[in-house]
Amino acid sequence: MSYLLVRNGNVLTEDCTGYASVDLLSRNGQIVEMAQGIEPPPDCAVIDARGRSILPGFVDCHVHSTAVTADTTLLRTLPPSYVTAGATQILGNMLARGFTTVRDVGGADFGLAHAIDEGLIRGPRLIFGGKALSQTGGHGDKRSPGVQASDDHPYCGGSCRVVDGVENVRLAVREELRRGASHIKLMASGGVASPTDHINSTQYSIPELEAAVAEATAVGSYVTVHAYAPAAINRALRAGARCVEHGNLLDDDNIVLLKELNAYLVPTLVTYWALEREGREHGLSETSWRKVAEVLEGSIDALRRASDADVNIAFGSDLLGGMHKYQSEEFRIRSKVQSPTQIIRSATTVAARLLQMPDKIGILTPGAYADLLIWDADPLEDAVVLAQPDRYLDAVVKDGQLVNRPDN
């Protein structure tokens, strides 16, 4: 038996509105008791929180852990050994910042997930979707106009595969699910880091979208979509998508539909902030960099309107290459329009529901995984402290094991 007792701390309540002064005991990585004055069992490790704030481990619902460069065309040509080495560093740093679970929406596979589970590498719990699916000329098609050949081998370094037609989409979804994908991601609109499409374009036909949804739903999974423009968002939601990534250009009709369908939105504001500042330094092409302004303007207002309407909003970062270090900056950006409780819920309870793990992650309660963060500050007073883990994050615990404090 492996025990851990965390005592003398203020534990965030399940509704993320306050704290309870209770001790927390875990056994074999799972919380088993929460009460005052718990006596440690024999051979129990003990952490004295000394009155600090204890939050659940954070969940980032939009990462690309194999994106070792922002040059997505180059990424497809890199050997798996190099990409894995880079992903190991990226994932380890995510965990050190307090992200104990992440959802990879394009790139990671069962190999990385198993390596983390087996302790071969250090990282967050990795919920992966395998390769995202894109139509020819869509956001996931990284070929320049003069290139014809395409290599979509599942073990290449890219995050996407190009698939066209209803039956091919069905087969691709089944293949990704067979390899252990927890969800399926479709490129339903144009994007920044794609060389030949337009931000406002709609991608995939309705029958193709519906085919992917049907196959995912059949095994208890779901479809999430990359989408910016209002038309692309509505098409995907009406076809059955459960989640929208980004949504920077969403309109009031999109918000009504998100609410009506109880769907999820994963804004990723920090990636556009980072891309505008230094994307070209990390391999983003000039063509892609010029697209950033189109989706950056209005993104804060979109988040505000979705928050005011009480849409299910989960935390996401979507960073690439050397910009992964800015992951926690998403908390600071969101604090401009969201309350601390809204922000913390997005990275805990809302994220857990999206990942279909509401009783296991994003919450501190008996039966949940013993993933917790000890903060030398009160994030409910000022969520901006969450953007400074190197200063305020005293300890990270994942599966009942203490992780070293962050250094970046």
CA distance 363 to 371: 8
Residue 125 shares a structural domain with residue 222: yes
Residue 282 shares a structural domain with residue 256: yes
Taking CB atoms within 8 Å and a gap of at least 24, the contacts of 210-213 are 210/239, 210/240, 211/166, 211/167, 211/169, 211/170, 211/173, 212/133, 212/169, 212/170, 212/173, 212/184, 212/186, 213/239, 213/240, 213/241
Question: pTM of the full predicted structure?
Answer: 0.94
Residue 326 shares a structural domain with residue 388: no
The residue that leads in pLDDT, 241 or 405, is 241
Q: Is residue 299 part of a domain?
A: yes
Enumerate the β-bridge partners of residue 99.
58
Query: What tens digit of pLDDT does each residue of 379-391 get?
Result: 999 999 999 999 9
Q: Is residue 408 part of a domain?
A: no
Residue 46 pLDDT greater than 50, yes or no: yes
Q: How many domains are contained in the chain? A: 2
Residue 52 shares a structural domain with residue 62: no
CA distance 98 to 351: 14
- Model confidence at 195, pLDDT cuts 50, 70, 90, reads low
Cα distances (Å, whole numbers) of residue 222 to 227, 293, 385: 16, 31, 34
Residue 405 pLDDT greater than 80, yes or no: no
Range of the structural domain that residue 27 is part of: 3-56+362-403
Residue 318 shares a structural domain with residue 175: yes
Q: 236 is written with which tokens?
A: 């995907």
Residue 115 pLDDT greater than 80, yes or no: yes
Q: Which residue shows structure tokens 């596979």? A: 109
Residue 151 pLDDT greater than 70, yes or no: no
Residue 238 shares a structural domain with residue 308: yes
Closest CA relative to residue 43, chosen from 2, 8, 75: 2
Residue 104 shares a structural domain with residue 163: yes
pLDDT at residue number 198: 78
Residue 258 shares a structural domain with residue 330: yes
Q: Is residue 267 part of a domain?
A: yes
What CATH number is attached to the domain comprising 389? 2.30.40.10
Q: Is residue 85 part of a domain?
A: yes
DSSP, collapsed to helix, strand or coil, labels residue 54 as strand
Residue 43 shares a structural domain with residue 143: no
Residue 11 shares a structural domain with residue 112: no
Residue 334 shares a structural domain with residue 317: yes
CA distance 222 to 354: 10
